[in-house]
Amino acid sequence: MSKEDWQKNTIEAIFKEANLWPWQTGEIISILDVACGLSLKSKYIPAQIRVGVDIYEKYFDYIESKAPYVVVKYDVRKLKDIFIPNSFDLVLALDIIEHLEKNESLAMLRQCEAIAKRAVIIETPKGYIPQNIDITGYGGDEFQTHRCSWEPEELQELGYQTVLRDYKMNDIQRHTDITVDPDVKLINGIKFIK
């Protein structure tokens, strides 16, 4: 998603508008930003501790953030190997579940739920959006490939409350063989940990 969208439609703003953000400023201390990539969207949520994890180290060189953070190069499918249960207030898995095989996404979400103290927050396109190239041009084609699709009902069955919103992607080449419509819907989901 574009930087302009991250700044305007922050995770906090999306869920506040849907009456799904129960926290006051200062209540969220720590955030794990799964597959933080270039964006580190956790920087838009006030917190003292931000840890980003991503398998493609080259992206770390392009993160722009005034908020303090640390990054870890690691496979997001194996989060339980490096993070203990209940270790972060929020776990963000934004724009990642579509990049894994469905069974890998489900397993990763279960790991995120174990690591989170308060909630897991996700963002993914609704339905399948073909993509097999790194649209940022940093050579991460293998990691940018979309491998599965999601619908709000599937996430709701997993306990996520969902918000659907319109989104216009940059009209650029995303796939080597398929033209992709830039007008999509995004699913934002939140699962509160009890």
- Specify the pLDDT at position 1: 60
Three-state SS at 189: strand
Domain boundaries, the chain: 3-170
**DSSP reduced 3-state for 77:** helix
pTM of model > 0.75:
yes
Contacting residues for 107 by C-beta, under 8 A, at least 6 apart: 77
CATH code: domain 3-170 is: 3.40.50.150
- 3-state class (DSSP) for residue 105: helix
The pLDDT tens digits for 132-179 are 988 888 888 888 899 999 999 999 999 999 999 999 988 888 899 999
Q: Please state, in angstroms and as integers, the Cα–Cα distance from residue 66 to each residue in 46, 50, 69, 134, 159, following that order.
A: 12, 12, 9, 25, 33
Helices and strands, counts by H and E, the chain: 5, 7
- Segment 175-191 shows an average pLDDT of 93
User: 78 pLDDT band (50/70/90 cuts)?
Assistant: very high
pLDDT at 113 over 90: yes
